[in-house]
Amino acid sequence: MCSGPTVPDQSTFSDCLHILEKYDIQPKIPPAVIAFLERGARGEIEETPKADDPAVRRTQNVIIGSNILAVRAAKQQADELGYHSLILSTFIEGETKDVAKVHAAIAKEILSSGHPVQRPAGIISGGETTVTIRGQGLGGRNQEFALAAAMEIDGMPEVVVLSGGTDGTDGPTDAAGAIADAMTVQRAKKMGLDAERHLRENDSYHFFQPLGDLLITGPTMTNVMDLRLVLVA
């Protein structure tokens, strides 16, 4: 998927109104915004350029950076470091906690049977997951992934997990993501941090910050979705 001022926009004012209606969030939207969308839906405001717009027809878009390129670069580095690496997928979606459990399950399978790759193994995936926010904490999908994974790999000294956003920003935080290993949960307990409670409160940032395990890169000035690594020694 690509977006920008030279890419046709298929959405319409009516689409926006239907989304607000579908999720019953009109009361939370400023009246001026609703009025603007309604004017657009009535044709009183011009829609954004569509695929048949003359300007768009004369435009050529070339993708020079993508998630698969980032994932392949990670695989190349893992190979050079001596890992038997495997690209799982660059289309990973779904609830972050569930995706983390699947990645941890693959690590367990590698330890148990040597599949899908032999140790030392590097499992790499891309895409973007989703966090259903139920708590009042601070974090992002990559930090929550690392926290959920930390609970699954607790006590497994051979496994390390990293999840980060390629733009250097994960949710409304200054972190790109976080790193977790077999001792993360135990180290946290000694500091009075409860992994399960922090996960329940969507408070992964304040879980990893005292541990010093946040992945902080600063803005990278690019964004090709997320990158997740599972290393099994």
List the CATH number of the domain containing 227.
Answer: 3.40.1480.10
pLDDT tens digits for 127-159?
999 999 999 999 999 999 999 999 999 999 999
Domain extent, residue 24, equals 13-57
Pair type for strands 214-215 and 177-181:
antiparallel
pLDDT band per the 50, 70, 90 thresholds, residue 5: confident
Residue 14 has pLDDT above 80, yes or no: yes
Verify that 33 and 122 share a domain, yes or no: no
Residue 226 token pair: 């997320």
User: pTM for this one?
Assistant: 0.84
Number of domains in the chain: 2
Return d(Cα 179, Cα 208) in angstroms, integer: 8
Rg, Å, the chain Cα set: 21
Are 124 and 50 part of one and the same domain?
no
By percentage, how much of the chain surpasses pLDDT 70? 99
